[in-house]
Chains A and B, each alone.
Chain A
Amino acid sequence: MEGFRFLDFPVPDERGRFGPYGGRYVPETLIPALEELEAAFEEARRDPEFLAVYRQYLKDYAGRPTPLYFAERLSEELGGARVYLKREDLAHTGAHKINNTLGQALLARRMGKKRVIAETGAGQHGVSVATVAAMFGLEAVIYMGEEDVRRQALNVFRMELLGAKVVPVASGTKTLKDATNEAIRDWVTNVRTTSYILGSVVGPHPYPRMVRDFQSVIGQEIRASLLEKEGRAVPDAIIACVGGGSNAIGAFAPFAYEEPRPRLIGVEAAGEGLDTGHHAASIAAGKRGVLHGSYMYLLQDGDGQIAPAHSVSAGLDYPGVGPEHSYLADIGAVEYAAVTDEEALEGFKLLARTEGIIPALESAHAVAYAAKMVPTMGRDEIVVINISGRGDKDVAEVKRILGEGR
């Protein structure tokens, strides 16, 4: 395999628009910084030297390419299509987040910034930023909602061990959305010295594009591995969970804009059920609006106040969804489904039991959807589930929930 390349996608346009979505709705203070970041990224993605260095770190530091693993027992159990797992859980730090943080940290270094900040939900992105910051010798400050600090105590300790400062955020719903507000406030204040390493395909232009481009290594590798194993580069379907949407867009983008296009299925968190109001399914149940710099599908009340999201998985607990997903949903290139907390917990156990792989609760949403879809498919069809991360971080929380149920 020749390795990661920066691909040319038809969206966004030069104003950062995916159809009507995206854009740059931020305080004017940040506009020059976003323009500077955009210019630096454009230059870097055309620079063979940058590409070579990024590839080197993906390989030697993140451990890429990650395997595309044929899940034989899971396939048998479900009794339909052949199921492959894209093993992002095996990337360094245990999730796909490292693909993006390595890219953005290299860019920060190139721009001469010595301090990086980030928001985190599950703590996976925070850990990933703390990790690359340690490796590159950058100061890192991570904003995390108080509720998530509680749910993901182990990741807080991890970040601190890696030398990052973790700042608990007590405002609003005390989760990812509020951590993002606080990170943006820090950036507004320290914009001259600081790089903001955003963790998903959300936020103002150029983030949705830049994060997508770095994460597209996932889809590029799926193509190459599948060609090697099955003699075809395009599967029949790819399933990925969607919080902000970075692991999903990374898996989908190299397939979404050309024929033949596999079925692409983004799985949102239905929480306690779409009709309970306690969920995080922005596409299934949201309306268009502006949050964190971007026009996108959003959970909100009739007055445009952002509604609290709910999911058993902290990484999906976000009331918006990236502008490219909003666009792909509208044009019908990707199907979006939603899976409840309960179903996700079943998916979590299913993968552990059949394959000896404990997935992140986020990824368990994709597994749970696959468990519904795969039995309806033919034996000669191929499904890829993107296992965006590993579940070690969730074991204590799952134990607590299952214990209560007894």
Chain B
Amino acid sequence: MSAVKEAFQKARAEGRRAVIPYLTAGYPSPERFLDYARVLAEEADLFEVGLPFSDPLGDGPVIQRASEAALRQGVRTKKVLELVGKLAERTDVPLLLMTYLNPVLAYGKERFFKDFAAAGIKGVILPDLPPDEDPGVAEAAREAGLATVFLLAPTSTDRRIGVVTGYTTGFVYAVSVTGVTGARDRLPEEIGALVRRVKAKTELPVAIGFGISGEETARQAAAAGADGVVVGSALIRAIEAGADPRRVLQAVRKGATL
């Protein structure tokens, strides 16, 4: 079984929905990213690293700012590979890479996935690629030994759920809102319906992301039937504010514990 699926099982066995923090690689600086990531990984079941991109059209203002700050410091694909390598040395938590498609294509998709797998990445999340748009991408990721993760949204039709899960080997990333990334106070009620519709089509684990901000939203996600919760903007907001993101993640973990 893949490290990614195993992480969901392990969390479940410990009475918890998988806790998946997200940080943008190189934010707030390459060194401090590593420090934060290492500390947060201690509270995590899986860990998501974002590759900064100039045009992150699926992201809200918080992750946009983090992305711009990382790019300003010269954090590009090679540097992200290096940071991932260092992080993998310091944690056993499976690492996921979140990246927009263009940096993958520019690097060459086969080589991109191979190099990231070698650096310690276990799965890849592609937020702007409906997988059937270019099936070669998911195939290249699988051939490099990476689990594939794609997004589904409350607007997704049952037909799209069928198509997208057909290309997924890791877990389904269920977007809680029709919208971009960003912390919210509450999740919309309709998220439960999406999780049910996805689970009717697949045995894959389902993680809810977008809008998870603390204990309450994590609890809502758990109640909606999710197998995992992704939290990103709330962590970055804490870092921006000079607060301790570990507090946020601990609250999420509490909400995600059954």
Interface residues of A (CB under 8 A from B): 23-33, 171-172, 177-178, 181, 184-185, 188-192, 287-293, 298, 300-306
A293 to B129, CA, bound (A): 9
Question: Are B107 and A28 interface neighbours, CB within 8 A?
Answer: no
Is A28 a contact partner of B130 (Cβ separation < 8 A)? yes
Contact indicator A23/B106 (Cβ below 8 Å): no
CB distance B164 to A28 under 8 Å?
Answer: yes
B133 near A24 with CB under 8 A, answer yes
Contact check, A28 vs B178: say whether CB atoms are below 8 A apart: no
**B68 within 8 Å of A by Cβ?**
yes
Is B155 a contact partner of A24 (Cβ separation < 8 A)? Answer: no
15 contacts between A and B (CB under 8 A): A25-B128, A25-B129, A25-B134, A28-B160, A33-B155, A172-B55, A177-B55, A185-B58, A189-B177, A290-B105, A300-B102, A301-B76, A303-B77, A305-B76, A305-B102
Q: Which residue of B lies closest to A28 (CB)?
A: B151
Residues of B69-95 contacting chain A, CB below 8 A: 71, 76-78
- Give which listed residue, B77, B128, B151, contacts A290 with CB less than 8 A: B128
CA distance A281 to B133 in the complex (A): 27
Taking the nearest CB of chain A, how far is it from the CB of B112, in angstroms? 9
Q: Would B76 and A29 count as touching, CB distance under 8 A?
A: no
Q: Which of B129, B157, B179 contacts A32 (CB 8 A)?
A: B157
Whether A303 contacts B151 by the Cβ 8 Å rule is no
0/1 interface trace, chain B 106-150, chain A, CB 8 Å (1 if under): 110000000000000000000111100110000000000000001
User: A184: which B residues are within 8 A, CB to CB?
Assistant: 57
- Is B64's beta carbon under 8 Å from chain A? yes
Q: A289 CA to B127 CA in the complex, in Å?
A: 16
Task: Tell me which of A171, A178, A185, A293 contacts B180 (CB under 8 A).
Answer: A185
Min Cβ gap A70→B in Å is: 44
The distance from the CB of A367 to the nearest CB of chain B, in whole angstroms, is 32
Q: Does B224 contact A (CB under 8 A)?
A: no
- Tell me whether A303 and B107 are in contact in the complex, defined as CB-CB below 8 angstroms, given that A24-B133, A28-B152, A33-B155 are known contacts: yes
A23 and B134: CB pair below 8 A?
yes
Apart from A303-B78, A304-B106: 12 A-B pairs, beta carbons within 8 A: A28-B160, A29-B153, A32-B160, A172-B68, A181-B55, A185-B60, A191-B155, A293-B128, A300-B102, A303-B106, A305-B53, A306-B55
The answer to whether B104 has its CB under 8 Å from any CB of chain A is: yes
